[in-house]
Amino acid sequence: MADKVVMDSDSINRTISRIVNQILERNNGAADVVIVGIRTRGVHIATRIANEIEKLEGIRPEMGTLDITLYRDDLRQKTEWPKVEKTEVPFDLDDKKVILVDDVIFTGRTTRAAIEAIMDFGRPSSIQVVTLIDRGHRELPIQPDYAGLKLNTLSSETVRVHLKETDGKDEVVVVKQ
Amino acid sequence: MAFERKHILGLEELTAEEITLVLDTAESMREVSDRDVKKVPALRGVTVCNLFFEPSTRTRSSFEIAEKRLSADVLNFTTIHSSVVKGETLLDTARNLEAMGASMIVIRHPMSGAPWLLARELNSSIINAGDGWHEHPSQGLLDLFTIRRFKGRIEGLKVAIVGDILHSRVARSDIWGFSKLGAEVRVVGPPTLIPKYIEDINAKGYYNLEDAIRDADVVIMLRIQRERQDSEFFPSLREYSRFYGLTRDKLKVAAPDVTVMHPGPINRGVELSSDIADGAEAVILEQVSNGIAVRMAMFYLVASARRNS
C-alpha cells in the first residue's frame, strides 16, 4: 500500500524549534543541560537540538552518542545480534540534566535500555526523553517528556524517519504493510 | 555481516572479514573500560569457565575481566587445584564443567589441538587461550587491533616477528592474522628456531635480525623461554641476546615510525633492552589494555553465533 508522509522538512524544523524552547523553559536555560542521542537517527536530531540551543542561549551543550546494543533486553531471544557501534559520552554525567534523544518511541524498550546505559556513566540530576515521533503501543511504563508528533499507528505499520544527514532529505513516513 | 562461528579456535580458520568484524566490535567495546561503571549487561546469565592447564596470569586475568565487564558469571578452573591431578581426562573435566552450566569454555592447554577436541565433543562454545605451540588467537587479534589503532591499517605494513618462532603460538596466530589482512610478514631467529615450513604459511624466514627488521613498520619481539637456554637450540642466552636481542642501535634500520610489541612477560636485557621496552616505540601496555576489549568482542560475537544456531 501507499506510504503516507506525516511530516515534511518544514514541520520537522518547526517541531525541533518548539521542543528546544520547551527544554529551555523547563530547565531555566541550558545550564547543566547535556544532550545524548541514541544511534543512529537520534544522534542527528540531538545535534540539531544542540545547534538550536547554541543559537538561542550562546552556549553549546555537551553532546554524547549512545549505542544501546549491549543493554538490549532481547539479546537472549534475538536470532541475529546487531553489530555493536561506538558509544561516546566523553564527559561526567553526575548532576547533569540529560536530554535523551531518539527519533521514534514505540514499545519503550530502547528508551529503557538507554536509561540503564546512562546510569552507568554517572548519576544525572534528571533524564528527560525527547522523541520526534510518539507512535504509541508502549510495553513499558515509559513516556517521553517532549514529543514532536503523536501518531495513532497500527503495530503492523512502520514509521520511517528520514533525515538529511543519513537519507538525503527530511521526511517522516508511515509505511503500511 | 553476521558472525557465524560458535567457537574461536585459531586465526588460521578465520576469514579476513571475520577478523575485521572482531576488530571493529572491539573498537566499540573499548569505551566500556573508560566508564565509571565498567560493566554492560550483554552476557547476563551466561556462565563462562576459564579452564587453564598451564600457568598464566596475564591472559587468564584479561579473559576474566572481559567476562565480568560483559556481566557473565565466571568460573575459574586451574589444574593445580583440580581433579586433573587425580587422573581425570581433559574431556571428562570439560564435560563436568558443562554439566554445571558453563556455556562457554576458555581453554589453555599444553597440547596443540586440545581446544578442537572440546569443540568437537561438547555443546559449549570453546575459545582457545593458547594450545601448545599451535595458536593463541586472542593474542593475535589484540596485536592486530593495537597495530590498526596506531597505524590506521594493516594492509601493506612490513611486520617482523623475532625470536623462538618454532615454539611460539603467538607467532603462528600473528602470522595468520597479519598475512590475511594483507601485511608482509617476516620471521627471524636462530636457524634451529625457525620452522622449515615457514614459507608455506605466508611468512619469509630470516636468520639475521637487521635484514629482517630493515624498513619494518612493526617489530614483534617474542619472549625467549629461559628454560630453553640449557637445550640444544642455541649455545647460550648471552649469545642469543647478542644476535637477536633488540637494542636501540639495531632498531635504527627499521622504519622511522616503527612500533615495537611484546606479548609479555619481558626478559629485560635478553630479547629487549629496557630503553626500548620503556621507549616511545613500545606499545606493550596498550596491548594489555586492548586485550580486554578484544576478548569482550570475541565473547559477544561467539554468544551471538550461539543464539543463531
The alpha carbon of residue B299 is apart from the nearest alpha carbon of chain A, in Å, by 12
pLDDT band, residue A2 (cuts 50/70/90): confident
* Facing B2 at nearest CB: one of A69, A80, A119: A80
The alpha carbon of residue B11 is apart from the nearest alpha carbon of chain A, in Å, by 21
Q: Tell me the pairing of strands A171-175 and A4-7.
A: antiparallel
Query: pLDDT tens across A49-74, in order?
Result: 999 999 999 999 999 999 999 999 88
| Residues of chain B with C-beta less than 8 angstroms from the C-beta of A80 | 2, 304, 308
Residue B259, H or E segment: strand B259-261
Q: Which of B164, B216, B162 lies closest to B195, judged by CA?
A: B164
8 Å CB contact of A87 and B31: yes
Whether B251 and B147 share a structural domain: yes
Query: pLDDT tens across B204-222, in order?
Result: 999 999 999 999 999 999 9
Between A and B, how many CB-CB pairs are < 8 A?
A: 54
Spatial separation of the C-alpha atoms in residues B50 and A170, rounded to whole Å: 51
Whether B142 and B280 share a structural domain: yes
8 Å CB contact of A70 and B40: yes
Look up the domain containing B273 and give its range: 137-284
Whether B126 and B148 share a structural domain: no
8 Å CB contact of B37 and A121: yes
Q: What is the pTM of this model?
A: 0.93
Tally the domains of chain A: 1
CATH code: domain of residue A133: 3.40.50.2020
> Looking only at Cα atoms, what is the longest distance across chain A?
48
Whether B105 and B191 share a structural domain: no
| Residues of chain A with C-beta less than 8 angstroms from the C-beta of B18 | none
8 Å CB contact of B2 and A70: no
CB atoms within 10 A of CB B194: 20
Whether B145 and B24 share a structural domain: no
In percent, the amount of chain A with pLDDT more than 70 equals 98
Q: Tell me the pairing of strands A97-105 and A33-38.
A: parallel
Q: Is residue B127 classed exposed, middle or buried when 0-12, 13-18 and 19+ CB atoms within 10 A define those classes?
A: buried
8 Å CB contact of B41 and A70: yes
Query: pLDDT tens across B238-258, in order?
Result: 999 999 999 999 999 999 999
Cα–Cα separations (whole angstroms), residue B206 to A64, B181, B277, B304: 49, 22, 23, 41
- The answer to whether residue B2 sits within a structural domain is no
* Facing A84 at nearest CB: one of B37, B300, B308: B300
Tally the domains of chain B: 2
Predicted ipTM of the assembly: 0.88
pLDDT of residue A79: 66
Query: pLDDT tens across B103-132, in order?
Result: 999 999 999 999 999 999 999 999 999 999
Query: pLDDT tens across B47-91, in order?
Result: 999 999 998 889 999 999 999 999 999 999 887 666 666 788 999
pLDDT of residue B83: 65
Output B237 or A42, whichever has higher pLDDT. A42
- The answer to whether residue A76 sits within a structural domain is no
CATH code: domain of residue B41: 3.40.50.1370
Alpha-helical (H) ranges within A58-167 are: 109-119, 164-167
Whether B200 and B72 share a structural domain: no
pLDDT of residue A80: 76
Residue B309 has pLDDT above 60, yes or no: yes
Q: Which of B121, B144, B143, B117 lies closest to B131, judged by CA?
A: B117
* Facing B37 at nearest CB: one of A79, A80, A120: A120
Contact B105, B118 (CB under 8 A): yes
Q: Rounded mean pLDDT of B168-184?
A: 98
